[in-house]
Chains A and B, each alone.
Chain A
Amino acid sequence: MLGFVIQRFLQAVLVMAAMSVIVFCGVYAIGNPIDIVIPPEATQEIREQTIRRLGLDRPLYEQYFIFIGNLLQGDLGRSFVYNIPVLELIGGRLPATLELVLISVISATVLGVSLGIYAGYRPDSWVSKTIMAVSVLGFSVPSFWVGLILILFFAVNLGWLPAGGRGETVEIWGIGWSFPTFDGLSHIVLPAINLALFKLAMMIRLARAGTREVMLTDTVKFARAAGISEGTILWRHLLKLISIPIITVFGLELGSTLAFAVVTETIFSWPGVGKLIIDSIAVLDRPVMVAYLILVAFLFVTINFVIDLVFALIDPRVRHGAAA
């Protein structure tokens, strides 16, 4: 088990190193921030001073090693635009995205898996057919359109829920959160539904496919022949047997939604990191872009690492295979 952890950790470090090179070169290639950062009426002297101050006069590889050196000391640089440390900037926005994404991904998974198991267990009932029809919609309707319709219907026409913003926040550990207050929660509902719909559809399909497959296996027949009730079969046998693909997709979705909830955050003016990165790209705020992408890579690597550990915890074959 320890060998397995160390091996995965080394892999993660390698991935991070490769990602940092790709990100740094990629961002360097997409444009010169100087034209945006320095006002056009600035003198040549100020221009050159600024370039030197930002370290943009050095060759790319030097800039990269300076960046990595600072990164290892926990310094991701300062935003060109806001002139505050990037970490502070992203850190201030991250809780908003975190709570929105966690609420939507977790509820999509819980609901989607339950509905999917039902649809797989009773594939011929009209309820199952309705569930599957809804999941097709969840897949095929574009997310920005759903967001607009949600606002139009629940915020504009019915006036039940607010259309944007975070609402009232509460400070916990010095960070503002919306979910503990009723007002904050009411602000989360619509963007969370918007984000959850696609994941819900995917979870329904995954759980249904797994359930249909498992219910036909001899494992289930043998359990039935031992007189084990259907509830116990679903809860104790089926749930574990279908869990591997569900956990995989859960991790991937959690990572990608945290990183790229851009569309929903823009529509619902949710002040999260997705909106921050779009704004930064628009003004070529290079340190923010680089730091953000590095953080995203770190996030994915961490989530995958945790998921590998979870696999080993729940599936004895993975655990023992890794130990051998």
Chain B
Amino acid sequence: MSDPVLSVKGLSTHFFTRAGVVKAVNGVSFDLARGEIMGLVGESGSGKTVTGFSLLGLVDAPGRIVEGSIKLNGVELTTLSEAELRKRRGHEISMIFQDPIATLNPMLTIGQQMKLAIDAHERVSAAAARSRATELLTQVGIPSAAARLRAYPHEFSGGMRQRVAIAIALLHRPSVIVADEPTTALDVSIQAQILAKMRALARETGTAMVWISHDLAVVSSLASKLAVMYAGRIVEEGPTATLLRDPRHPYTAGLIASLPAMAKPGAPLNQIAGSTPSLLSLPEGCPFSPRCTHASGQCTTDADMTQNGGRQWRCFHPVGQTAPEPA
């Protein structure tokens, strides 16, 4: 495999609040190859969004990256100045958000917003900016794009707005796009269109993606690789198909079992008992142990990542190996 475009090692982002230190992201590591789509899955509050913002250096106070390394195209981001980071945001790494109604400025036309995003990194003529904007809008599937440059966000449907946001994120052909649940706010049919578009764009442009989602079903149709986050840590990582068929970490197994498609019709849906721990006071060792049916006394100490054939997990009692398969 060639050098990864994005390499994250031991990333920790903590929020220093009055109530104490919130360890939102706690030693996250992963690599992303050119054009690869990685799904970052977890419940709300598992630290996936903060991980995304950390990659762009956009963690708001009182949070900050306390340790770890983020290498984008071989350049270490965590030690860069804010000015240097800004030059890379939108240019080498960009981000799209969950709610396309909230991300676009309602008082500026689509053309004006795209021009601002172009001007942030290049000096181009108004005509050149227009033709670039038109080209990208066409590419993400917006009909009569040239005319739509003069339209305002409220004149677009939700799905179209998200396409505009994607076009803005793609303006400078970034190496990596962080997509924070970009289809969650959309209808299922629109969601499918956007997913297909993103997959095609990743293939055409060679853009790698970190696709953040709480919806395992959505991510698995898109990502070639999955990383499952729990309480600020990646607990399991591996190729999507393998991981879904044969999960190792009990949390991953629980997530898969709780997919509605996995339940028998009419039977109650499976769920993982308990709730996520407070990030203010994480239990010793494995944060999932209080909810885990496999937990033992060993689980109060930290498990290391177990590497095995292109996948890895962080558990003393992985499912389907040392522990018996739950009935």
Contacts and interface: CB of A to CB of B under 8 A. Distances in A.
Contact of A226 (B89, B98, B106): B89
A261 to B, nearest CB: 33
Contact of B165 (A222, A229, A237): A222
A315 B108 CA distance: 9
Nearest to A315: B107
A299 to B, nearest CB: 29
B106 A317 contact: yes
Contact of A237 (B105, B155, B168): B105
A237 B90 CA distance: 17
Contacts of A224: 56, 58, 89
Given A218-B99, A320-B155, A227 B120 contact: yes
Interface string A224-252: 11111100100011001100000000000
Contact of A227 (B87, B97, B105, B178): B87
Interface in A276-319: 314-317
B107 A241 contact: yes
A232 B105 CA distance: 13
B107 A221 contact: no
Contacts of B168: 222, 226
Most buried by B among A217, A226, A315: A226
Contacts of B105: 219, 223, 237, 240-241
B102 A217 contact: yes
Nearest to A240: B107
A226 B117 contact: yes
A236 B107 CA distance: 10
B88 A227 contact: yes
A228 B97 contact: no
Most buried by B among A223, A225, A320: A225
Most buried by A among B97, B107, B117: B107
Interface in B167-226: 168-169, 171-172, 178
Nearest to B177: A225
A227 B58 contact: no
B116 A228 contact: yes
Most buried by A among B88, B109, B119: B119
Nearest to A219: B105
Nearest to B106: A317
B120 A219 contact: no
Nearest to B155: A320
Contact of A232 (B87, B120, B152, B154): B120
A316 B111 CA distance: 14
A123 to B, nearest CB: 10
Chain A contact residues: helix, strand, loop or mixed: helix
Contacts of B116: 223, 226, 228, 232, 236
Contacts, number: 86
Interface in B104-151: 104-109, 116-117, 119-121
Contact of A320 (B88, B154, B165): B154
Contacts of B155: 320
B95 interface: yes
B94 interface: yes
B102 A225 contact: no
A227 B89 CA distance: 4
A269 to B, nearest CB: 45
Interface residues of A, number: 22
Contacts of A219: 102-105
A229 B86 contact: yes
Contact of B107 (A217, A226, A229, A316): A316
Given A219-B103, A221-B58, A222-B103, A227 B108 contact: no
Nearest to B85: A227
A244 to B, nearest CB: 9
Contacts of A237: 105, 108
A228 B102 contact: no
B91 interface: yes
Contacts of B90: 225-228
A162 B54 CA distance: 59
A234 to B, nearest CB: 12
Contacts of B165: 222
A193 to B, nearest CB: 33
Nearest to B57: A224
A222 B86 contact: no
Contacts of B91: 227
A239 to B, nearest CB: 10
Nearest to B154: A317
Contacts of A229: 86, 120
A174 to B, nearest CB: 42
Contacts of B102: 217-219
Contacts of A315: 106-107
Nearest to B62: A124
A314 B107 CA distance: 7
Interface of B: 56, 58, 86-91, 94-99, 102-109, 116-117, 119-121, 152, 154-155, 165, 168-169, 171-172, 178
29 contacts: A218-B97, A218-B98, A218-B99, A219-B103, A222-B95, A222-B97, A222-B103, A223-B105, A223-B116, A223-B117, A226-B90, A226-B116, A226-B171, A227-B88, A227-B94, A227-B117, A227-B172, A228-B90, A229-B86, A229-B120, A236-B116, A237-B105, A240-B108, A241-B107, A315-B107, A316-B109, A320-B152, A320-B154, A320-B155
Given A225-B90, A226-B120, 13 more contacts: A218-B103, A219-B104, A221-B103, A222-B95, A224-B56, A225-B58, A225-B89, A225-B95, A227-B87, A227-B94, A228-B117, A229-B86, A241-B107
Question: 3 tightest CB-CB pairs across the interface, nearest first?
Answer: A227-B90, A226-B90, A225-B95
